[in-house]
Amino acid sequence: MDHIDYAYTFGMDADALEARLRETETGVLALSRGNESYAFPVAHHYDGEALYFRLGVTEGSEKRAFLEATETACYVVYGTKTTDNPREIDSWSVLVTGQLSEVPASERDRFDTAQINRNFSPIRVFDEAIDEIEITIVELEIDAITGRATGNG
């Protein structure tokens, strides 16, 4: 196709990947169950070794069912910035894959209420009653991190 605009991308080094995970507060977590997929926006906390998500789940929720069924999860953070040229956009994306596991109550001392409020943006509530939401901390044990960027990345 002769008239399609293209933007070349380059791989991001480990320092750039870590900086994006530390500086970006939210992304999209993708889960799977058989041949079905389920993705949702979520806040994260990156400690340099693992990613943590603070999730609000309710009994019998679709989110809980997918969390329990997913063998390998994928988390995406991304950003774009327009430039002086409206046809050019600087953009970047980071993909993280790995296994999810709920942080056991015995290890949650590093995620008390004050720490949760410091590490995560406020939890979004939709149609659920607050007293029915169970706050769960989930760790994504990182198997792979990759990232690409255009422009200045």
What does the domain layout of the chain look like in residue ranges? 10-149
The residues, any chain, with a CB within 8 Å of residue 1's CB and separated by 6 or more, are none
Say which residues have a Cβ less than 8 Å from residue 89's Cβ, sequence separation at least 6.
7, 80, 81, 82, 83, 150, 151
**At a CB cut-off of 8 Å and minimum separation 6, what does 43 contact?**
25, 26, 53, 54, 120, 121, 123
Average pLDDT over residues 26-44: 95
- Global pTM reads 0.84
pLDDT classification of 136: cutoffs 50, 70, 90: confident
Is pLDDT larger for residue 62 or for residue 129? 62
* Mean pLDDT in residue range 139-143: 95
Q: What is the reported pLDDT for 153? A: 45
Which range has the worst mean pLDDT, 2-11, 61-70, 74-83, 90-99?
2-11
Fold of 10-149: Pnp Oxidase; Chain A (2.30.110)
